[in-house]
Chains A and B, each alone.
Chain A
Amino acid sequence: MKRTNSKIASSSLGYAISFLLLIGLVCSGVLFITSVNKRIQVGHELDQHMLFNNYFGLRYGASTNQVGEQNIVHTSGDTSLIIVKNWGAFKVVVSSTFHGSRNVEKSALFGQQTPYKLPVLYVPEHNQEIQLCGDTRIEGTVYRSKRGFERGYIGGQHFTGEELVDGKEYQSEKTLPALTIALDQFDLAQFSSSATRLESLMNDSSFSFTEPTSLLSSTDGLQVSNHFEGNLVLHSFDSIFVRASAQLVNVILIAPVIRFEAGFQGKVQAIAEIRITCEENVYLDYPSALILREVENLNPQIQSTIYLDQGTRVLGGILLTSEHPNFRSPVHLELNEALVAGLVYNQGETELQGKIIGSLYTNQFSLNAGGGQYTNALLNATLSNKLLPKDFVMPDWIDHEGISTPTLLSCF
């Protein structure tokens, strides 16, 4: 049998190979797209995890409420470095979350919300009644002397209300409740030890809490008229004058004497030794704090004072303490038709001719009216905690019952 030397024709096989190449090309495309999509998905999930873990870090730092550093390992493999530090009357938590070369940083100012409602007024037992005159209103729980309140007549004004106190009354202890905060956290040394010192501040600036604190210290008086925001402490050995045009957000001011010009508005913490004055219509928004810390009164003729003029509004807290209290010249808080919402703790005397929405702890009241000086008298004053929002976080200065809930006040 003769065998022909035949070759397989390549037409069909050629098509098949072409088809193979085509399908291979499509498959490579599919594989490439899948791989790119997977990478994007993984990257996106990583970012999501880091963001959630970073916020968790902020909340965790706030819940521990202890100044210092700590590390957390997250379930997704991220790690967070959490730093909690004092920031005047409040605390700041900084959370830095890492995953390989990726990094997310956030910081927040936080406070502690108490389940226990603070009394609207706490006056220690001095065996003296408090006279209420004019349109004075006290709404809420009160801790007062066993002699309680009485209707008074000062400056030609009788007490006009129907009942003296709209709320429960309890007898107080002989002293104010102790402060839970260490007062040295308001010292300049707390900030200066690790701060970056600035020579001058000419331009508007924003300072991140993720960086070391910036400190501008001057031996002369400082005039502030710029926009400063964040992790900045302005200190003067003389005085600080804040102009109405200044814009301050979460900045700390430290000086013996601090004055806010009429019309100023901002979020600021002012720490002074001798005097803080808010002229007319100064708005200190939440969270703000005025702290008067009298170290030693060398001249009893000059009373260490916080003075809030007409139309001024302070949202946050006011604290007046004296390391060596002088009963002839106690630290003095005066509200002249001003409003404070939050916590006021005064180891001296309070001259209240305005409104405190929140809680007032004071050693005694004083009053200048009708050409006379009175102690333990109130004229046209309002003390109430009915209007305070439920989620308002007061400064955590006083020991209380129950477990506090950490609350982030603002994140940056």
Chain B
Amino acid sequence: MIPDFQRVEVSDTTEVADSTYVLSFPEPESAAGLEPGQFCMISPELHPSDVFLPRPFSYYRVVDSQTIQILFRTYGRATRWMASLVPGNRIGVFGPLGNTFTIAPHARRAVLVAGGIGLPPLVLLAERLAALDDPPEIDLLYGEHTGDRIIDIKASLPAGVHLHLCTEDGAVGLKGLVTDLFRPIIAECNSPPAVYTCGPNAMMAALAGLLAPDSVAVFEASTEENMACGKGICKSCVIPMVTQDGTVRYRYCCTDGPVFNGFEVKWPHS
């Protein structure tokens, strides 16, 4: 699908957990063709007062094939601006951009590991996997620092997706890290599972450390880096990758990714 730049009216902004919002806007043209892992660039009007560049966000959900939802957490001024949007406000949306996850046809189990605001692309992926003719068993592991940040997605997940929660403060689910949820689930897999992840680099690096390439059908990580254009022009969003000869080469998060083979990414401090 060819990405398009459109100005759309926000239909809703709802706070769904501490500092965490769902932004909804209509985009019937691209909604039907979106793939999990793909993203869009959200921008204010051309001459804003304090937010200047667009920001990349993974697609979270598509409602009734008409409305696109983005899940975001306030961090800097752009996300604070987004949190202030009310129905009728206009935003620029450029997308769909980037690649998608690989569906491993022979994997009978899919383990999706989300850390914090890395959740959105994995929710969309869980929906797509559950809708397959012969769906694998799907486990969605989701961790947050604190209980007040947990987004209540249980009721809206498709039947058959097993949700496992953890928090570092122990307020919701297991007290600990997603890797603590991950270890026993991987240990009980009878055949190589498909593992997908999105979250902090340290978390994704830890998962890479727990897996061997021959023990999984695929291990894919959705990455993020500062970017301006989303289309391979600004050359900003490089992700270091380890090549077969051991050298490090940069690939672009926006056009080569954002989803990469998690074993090939040169994780920080790895």
A and B bind: no
